[in-house]
Structure 1
Amino acid sequence: MQTLLPNDARQLLDSEPDALFIDCRSEMEYLFVGHPKGAHNVPWNDGPDWEVNPHFVQNVKKLAGHVSARPVMLICRSGNRSSAAARALEGAGFATVYYVQHGFEGDLDTDRHRNTVNGWRHDGLPWEQY
């Protein structure tokens, strides 16, 4: 598993057209907070119970076309869920797994707000909301 800063992650995705980009936040975060353009939503955990998704690895395998050599990039809100999800994918045999440090919304600032210090959106990378 490798960690990349948001801008480095974008560059890797641009240079690796076969890379699979997974947003592992909840469905509500993906839909209502926004998400990186081109990212597929496969929640690592989701409400109402917030337990780890027992189908996560299988869902990613399906999106990858069951090709464990295909590079996979993971992103979540701040990097915690995506690092756990990356470990699960490596344990399932995925050879090239990355996760985005600081995630989509970034770390908390001194007022406990996100999107002001770092992260995908803070860095001005392409995202959408719907």
Structure 2
Amino acid sequence: MTFTQPGSHLAGAAVAAVLLLVGCLPTTGPTLTVPEAFERTKSGEVTLIDIRTPMEWRQTGVAEGAQRIDMRHPKGPDGFADQVLAEVGGNKDAPVALICRTGNRSGHMQKALLDRGFTNVYNVGGGMVGSRAGAGWIQERLPVEPCPRC
């Protein structure tokens, strides 16, 4: 028989919820710093994909060289994966780096792609605005393309 403190399951759930909110959950795959993502995108080593929403693209602009694929695909994660696959010419082994606001949502979508057979997916820690994972694209003063009609 296992004894637990009354309400201990609630405390565990509360801790998990807080970690989700601050983006501290571990990623499921490799990460890139913002400067690494910039250099690899610039050299053509990786396809950078901004998974944020059109409203977010309009607010901050988009990292130079990034493709825009909203993670909220009408067909869910499978539709998102299909769109990423089309972007990389049907090659699930092609290097892809996902960027969002802080690196949290891109970590979730990294897992979604890995679960669907992609083999070379990076999460850009820090994202566009920065987080505990590191400085963001904007903080690093890297080039941003405006997206007024996104």
What's the TM-score, normalizing by structure 1?
A: 0.80
Distance 2:30 2:42 in 1: 17
Q: Which has the higher helix share?
A: 2
Q: Hey, which bits of structure 1, 4+ residues long, moved more than 3 A? A: 51-54
**Larger radius of gyration between Structure 1 and Structure 2:** 2
Q: Structure 2: how far apart are the matches of 1:63 and 1:36? A: 17
Q: Deviations over 1:41-90 (max 9, x none)?
A: 111127xxxx9555111110111111111100100000011001111111
User: Partners in 2 of 1:8 and 1:18 — Cα distance?
Assistant: 11
Q: Which residue, out of 51, 67, 71, partners 1:44?
A: 71
Taking a change above 3 Å as real, the CA distance of residues 85 and 11 of structure 1, as seen in their structure-2 partners, is same
Q: Greater share of strand residues, 1 or 2?
A: 1
CA RMSD of aligned residues (A): 2.3
1:16-48: CA deviation from partner (whole Å, max 9, x where unpaired): x152110000011113321101111111127xx
The unaligned stretches of length 5 or more in structure 1 are: 109-116
Alignment length (residue pairs)? 118
Is this contact kept in 2: 1:69–1:94, CA < 8 A? yes
Identity of aligned residues (%): 34
Give the Cα separation in 1 of the matches to 2:94 and 2:30.
14
Correspondent of 2:83 among 34, 52, 59: 59
TM-score, normalization by structure 2:
0.70
Q: 1:44–1:53: 8 Å Cα contact kept in structure 2?
A: yes
Cα pair 1:43 1:53 within 8 Å, conserved: no
User: 2:104 is matched with which residue?
Assistant: 80
